[in-house]
Amino acid sequence: MNPKEEMYLWAKDLWPITRSLTGDGVRETLSYLKQLMPSLKIHNVQSGSRAFDWTVPDEWSISNAYIDDEYGNRIIDFSENNLHVVGYSDQIDLWMTLDELESHLYSLPDQPNAIPYVTTYYAANWGFCLTHKKRKLLKKGKYHVVINSKKKNGVLNYGELIIKGESDKEVFLSTYLCHPSMANDNLSGVVVTMALAKWLNSLEKRKFSYRLIFIPETIGSLAYLSENLQYLKENVVAGYNITCIGDDRCYSFLPSRKGLTISDAAAKHVLENTDKNYKKYKWLDRGSDERQYCAPGVDLPIASIMRSKYGEYAEYHTSLDDLNVITESGLNGGYQAIKRSIEIIENNITPRITVHGEPQLGKRGLYPNLSIKDSTKHVDVRTLMNLISYCDGENTLLEIANIINKPFWELLPLIETLIKHNLVIDEN
């Protein structure tokens, strides 16, 4: 099966799992991913551990939750939709009036058919989320409110995959797995990252080593950084935070804090040559784990390639962000964009021509003088000559691609041919 079909099927399998920052849903998701990639290592971080300025919260689990009216009619049932309960809600079993219940209900008047996604990770509280349509039907009277949840001193889990290359220098890919049943944010990131892992693992050789992590958002990246900061700072040369990468409506780019890394340049080149109308966000629009990866003193070279960005599409953080929002082609477009960016990072040599003057291509069979009318053998000679004319040992291949306005992936086979004929060497 190709990654395009696989990614969507994985998302379907992972869809029903109740995920949060910690707990069984994260473990179930990680063990599913481990089946796909047995070298995935599952780590534990103890509740209460310090992660820079933060503390890893207690582990949260929930078995069921509901609200019944005084006649025993079930008004809200967690088993029907895991967004119905505010994430990290305290245990509760109480009778109360509608007035008392109101301050614990969350709905969206502007999106009356959507159940909002609400969490209370760091403040003890409880609540239910429901469609505004349903909320308006609630009548005065008494309600039986039950949440069977538990917080305990346990662990925060995350997955880590190391794929070795020729160099110890690393490309770092991070995605999060803490959202319950929502698709673009965040199952798309999980399945695209897994497809990239399988692709990277299948390569015969890699210049760089690869580090892929599946973590809960924010506290997970903080915990991971606090365990590995020095090593990451010394070895990570590029990387991406992978989220919101499964719908078909647009491509989006969000830079690293300084915006000057190879990850930024590669991503912009790929998107420019994939869809000229891609959306360009600024660091000021950040909202995911790049907040930690690019924070002062951390400053890893991490950018983001997305489809519809978090916070920018109508279904975001609601029950409407379902498996209809993501598509096979949407996931595949996101996957291809990051794959191509990685191919740039892997192959961005600084080529220098080894002859003075233009090389004589004809004697090497590189000039299509006899087959010029045969379109299947047509070589874009002008592109080849433009490429050669910038092989001065000063420009990288990516810089040349930008100067001559051709996609990197069209130039790469040409440069490989030139290297094979000893016409080009890598200046570095």
Q: How far is CA 98 from the centre of its chain?
A: 41
Q: Residue 282 CB, nearest distance to Zn ion (Å)?
A: 19
Among 158, 225, 194, 162, residue whose Cα is nearest residue 19: 158
Write out the two tokens for 213: 């992590």
The DSSP output letter for 342 is H
Residue nearest to Zn ion (CB): 185
Nearer Cβ to Zn ion, position 157 or 318? 318
Q: Distance between CA atoms of 35 and 17, rounded to whole angstroms?
A: 16
3-state secondary structure (DSSP) of residue 345:
helix
Burial 253-282 (b: 16+ CB within 10 A, else e): bbbbbeeebbbbbbbbbbbbbeeeebbebe
CB of 180 to Zn ion, least distance (A): 10
Joined together, the tokens standing for residue 282 give: 């600024």
Measured from the CB atom, the residue of 87 and 359 that comes closer to Zn ion is 87
CB nearer Zn ion, residue 287 or residue 368: 287
The least CB distance from residue 284 to Zn ion, in Å, is: 18
The least CB distance from residue 30 to Zn ion, in Å, is 18
Judged by DSSP in three states, 102 sits in: helix
Q: Which is nearer to Zn ion, 16 or 311 (CB)?
A: 311
> C-beta of 331: minimal distance to Zn ion in Å?
17
**Tokens standing for residue 397:** 């291949």
**CB 220 to Zn ion: min, Å:** 13
Degrees, nearest 5: CA angle 55-58-62: 145
Smallest gap from Cβ 179 to Zn ion, in A, equals 6
Q: What is the rounded distance in angstroms from the CA atom of residue 170 to the CA atom of residue 301?
A: 11
Of 21 and 397, the one with the shorter C-beta distance to Zn ion is 21
Select 186 or 273, whichever has its Cβ closest to Zn ion. 186
Q: How far is CA 136 from CA 113, 119, 140, in A?
A: 12, 22, 11
- Residue 179's closest CA among 217, 222, 148? 217
For the CB of residue 166, give the shortest distance to Zn ion in the complex, in Å: 36
Give the C-alpha distances (Å, rounded to integers) separating 188 from 39, 74, 267, 310: 21, 33, 18, 12
* Residue 313 Cβ vs Zn ion, minimum distance, rounded to whole Å: 12
Which is closer to Zn ion, CB of 21 or CB of 344? 21
Contacts with Zn ion, residue ranges (CB under 5 A): 185
Residue among 59 and 185 whose Cβ is closer to Zn ion? 185
Query: What span, in angstroms and rounded, lies between the C-alpha atoms of 223 and 216?
Result: 10
Q: How far is CA 81 from CA 66, 104, 114, 122, 376, in A?
A: 11, 17, 11, 23, 54
- Cβ proximity to Zn ion: between 170 and 185 the closer is 185
